[in-house]
Amino acid sequence: MQAGGRILFITMEARASQNAGRVMDGPTNPMVTPLLTDLYQFTMAYAYWKAGKHNERAVFDLYFRKNPFGGEFTVFAGLEECIKLIANFKLTEEEVSFIHKSLPGSCEEGFLNYLREIDCSDVEVYAISEGTVVFPKVPLLRLEGPVAVVQLLETPVLNLVNFASLVTTNAARHRLVAGQSKMLFEFGLRRAQGPDGAIGASKYCYIGGFDATSNVAAGRLFGIPLRGTHSHAFVSSFMSPDEILERSLCSSDGSSTCEDFVTLVHSWLSKIQWLKSLGGIFGETNQSELAAFISYALAFPNNFLALVDTYDVIRSGVPNFCAVALALSDLGYRAVGIRLDSGDLAYLSSEARKIFHTIEKELGVPGFGKMIITASNDLNEETLDAIRKQGHEVDCFGIGTYLVTCYAQAALGCVFKLVEINNQPRIKLSEDVSKVSIPCKKRCYRLYGKEGYSLVDIMTGENEPCPKVGERILCRHPFSESQRAYVVPKRVEELLKCYWPGKSGKVREELPALKDIRDHCIKQLEQMRPDHIRRLNPTPYKVSVSAKLYDFIHFLWLNEAPVGELQ
């Protein structure tokens, strides 16, 4: 019962030996196995098998109904992990026997043999490219294959797409509000929803436009740039500079050695203390902080970045930082800057910048005014927006909790709906129109206008002709009769590509490198009309169906819906 780690390791070994020579690596998290699914997928598989229906060809669409965070766009992510799951989808003997034990009641041995055999070699996966800006109702993924197998995939695929797309979208929103010129760091590991809640967030925030993470494991797994300096505990672990025993520091070019760096720092501290233009803003600075800064600088003379808010930013942290930075400058090193982790970030960053400029000017240290100011402390879209409006001097933002847990909306509601079985289109009705599914195996296109922006997405039946550049096409709202528009596209892009061809013989779309997914996402956002992606009152993007598909939906709807009786 408590042997979670060991059970998983046994599975990992079994799976690895099974997967030797396979097309691609497994999912990043080895916990992603065919058992990472709802029990009902297996009970249904048994019922399909008993009914002889398990190999009936089914088509499922994965889509969401509403954009998150009150916005009008979403960034699709999680595809690579889905394909890795599908490429390696195979139950181990031990997993089959666990399912055997877990099914309610007994099951026939033939079903277990069936489970032993299944994989995704007969499943086809069509998907929108990872990192693409997407909209409600349009399938992000379309899975076709034997109904029992595709149902087993429903839960893990939803799990892998839902949070990935949510947190990528959240990162993109933070990037939009921070502006392109700022550096954004993801610092959420400690507050994330579990270990790979954190690792996933690091990966997907990078795709969404963040520049780096503090999460070493994510840096190693995905090659994301890493950032980090020191914490408040580091500062308070020191008492005073007296405890620093090894005080020598070689100059940057190796030509000389300063034997007592501590004394050099002290001399700079007195100099800036008496700078008239600083107006005597500080007297005695905190000595444990000074000791911590000196120690950190001795360890990283080329990368000195100090957390300056443990005691008092303006009266202690910034002066201590400046003294150490000036001493480093004497030896040919260039300090990086400061981090603020509390208080009024707009005000404190501006005050700190003034001090840096004063020092550059008064003491003639070129570039000192350009010290990098990093800010952290419970930042989110709202606070970024607020301090931007207030005016600030922050260069880099470190964002944690609100970013990685998607605090403003902790879940995206992707669903997975049957749209066709045995070539028969299926519709799922609901009293709530927004929950009615769009039936049929479909093709999806994005139509672009003359300014280069995308105008509308349109879904058509599988066999309808593709919309053509320069040709007028009627785009209809799928459920509202009155909403429709003619569009003459300047460019037509087919959205769903084949990422896992099954036995179709189609060419498999390559999974791009993480960096390329990130570039694609950034470019996608640039191609959106700004009013669709703005924070306040964004304009909804139009998602439509062809006239033919519209008619078919409504024919099917009337056919399926029970006629009500008012009493």
Q: Which stretch binds its own copies (CB under 8 A): 33-41, 115-123, 440-448, 455-463?
A: 33-41
* Nearer to its own copies among residue 167 and residue 176 (C-beta): 167
Q: Measuring CA to CA, which residue among 15, 21, 32, 37 is closest to residue 149?
A: 37
Specify the stretch interacting with its own copies by CB under 8 A; choose among 127-135, 240-248, 257-265, 357-365: 240-248
Question: Which residue in 376, 405, 460, 546 binds its own copies (CB under 8 A)?
Answer: 405
Q: Which range in 22-30, 65-73, 126-134, 492-500 contacts its own copies by CB under 8 A?
A: 22-30
Q: Which of residues 105-144 bind its own copies (CB under 8 A)?
A: 105
Say whether residue 559 binds its own copies (CB under 8 A).
no
Question: How far is the C-alpha of 165 from the C-alpha of 406, rounded, in Å?
Answer: 11
User: ∠34-40-42 over CA atoms, to 5°?
Assistant: 50
Given 55, 251, 287, 401, the residue binding its own copies (CB under 8 A): 401
List Cα–Cα distances, 74 to 102, 160, 272, in angstroms: 37, 15, 50
Contact 531/459 with Cβ under 8 angstroms?
A: no
- Interacting positions 195-234 with its own copies (CB under 8 A): 195-200, 214-217, 219-223, 226-234
Q: Which stretch binds its own copies (CB under 8 A): 28-36, 138-146, 361-369, 549-557?
A: 28-36
* Residue 2 contacts its own copies per CB under 8 A: yes
Residue 379 as a binder of its own copies (CB under 8 A): the answer is: no
Largest CA distance in the chain: 97
Check binding of 249 to its own copies (CB under 8 A).
no
Helix (H, G, I), strand (E, B) or coil at 184: strand
Within positions 137 to 196, which residues make up the interface with its own copies, using CB under 8 A? 147, 151, 154-156, 158-160, 162-164, 167, 187, 189-196
Near its own copies by CB under 8 A: residue from 16, 23, 250, 469: 16
Q: How far apart are CA 494 and CA 126, in angstroms?
A: 11
Least separation in angstroms between residue 143's CB and its own copies is 12
In the complex, least distance from residue 352 CB atom to its own copies, rounded to whole angstroms: 17
Residues 438-497 that bind its own copies (CB under 8 A): none
Least spacing, CB of residue 346 vs its own copies, in Å: 16
Only one residue has tokens 């970030």, namely 345
Taking the complex as a whole, the smallest distance from the CB of residue 98 to its own copies amounts, in Å, to: 5
Q: Got the DSSP string for 394-425?
A: --EEEE-HHHHTTTT------EEEEEEETTEE
CB closer to its own copies out of 498 and 556 = 556
Q: Are strands 396-399 and 183-186 parallel, antiparallel or unpaired?
A: parallel
245 binds its own copies (CB under 8 A): yes
When the beta carbons of 231 and 350 are compared against its own copies, the nearer one is 231
Helix 345-362 and helix 318-330, axial crossing angle in degrees, nearest 10: 40
Question: Token match 């190796």: residue?
Answer: 254
Residue 181's CB is within 10 A of a number of other CB atoms, namely: 6
Phi then psi dihedrals of residue 407, to 5 deg:
-50, -35
Indicate the length of the chain as a whole number: 567
Distance CA 155, CA 415 (A): 9
Alpha carbon distance 332, 194 (integer Å)? 43
368 binds its own copies per the rule CB under 8 A: no
Work out which of 96, 342, 362, 365 binds its own copies, going by CB under 8 A: 342
User: Minimum distance between the CB of residue 12 and its own copies, rounded to whole angstroms?
Assistant: 6
Among 14, 18, 56, 388, binds its own copies (CB under 8 A): 56
Which residues, at least 6 apart from 356, have a Cβ–Cβ distance to it below 8 Å? 322, 368, 369, 370, 371
Name the residue nearer to its own copies (CB basis): 308 or 418.
418
Q: Is 74 in the site for its own copies (CB under 8 A)?
A: no
With respect to its own copies, which residue has the nearer C-beta, 197 or 461?
197
Nearer to its own copies, 227 or 542 (CB): 227
8 A C-beta contact, residue 45 and residue 150: no
* Closest C-alpha among 213, 266, 283 to residue 514: 213
Binding residue for its own copies, selected from 14, 18, 36, 557, defined by CB under 8 A = 36
Compute the least distance from the CB of residue 424 to its own copies, in Å: 7
- Residue 316 DSSP code: I
Residues in 254-273 at the binding interface with its own copies, rule: CB under 8 A: none
By CB under 8 A, what part of segment 501-530 binds its own copies?
A: 511, 513-515
CB-count exposure of residue 111 (10 Å: 0-12, 13-18, 19+): buried
The single residue among 17, 255, 423, 430 that binds its own copies, judged by CB under 8 A, is 430
Out of 119, 258, 311, 464, the residue judged to bind its own copies by CB under 8 A = 311
Given 72, 95, 289, 393, the residue binding its own copies (CB under 8 A) = 95
CB closer to its own copies out of 417 and 446: 417
Least CB distance from residue 303 to its own copies, whole Å?
4
> Which of 63, 73, 76, 296 forms a contact with its own copies (CB under 8 A)?
296
What letter would DSSP give residue 314? I
389 neighbors 179 (Cβ within 8 angstroms)? no
Picking from 94, 62, 73, 38, the residue whose alpha carbon sits closest to that of residue 453 is 73
Q: How far apart are CA 178 and CA 170, in angstroms?
A: 12
Euclidean distance between CA atoms 515 and 453, whole angstroms: 24
Residue 251 makes contact with its own copies by CB under 8 A: no
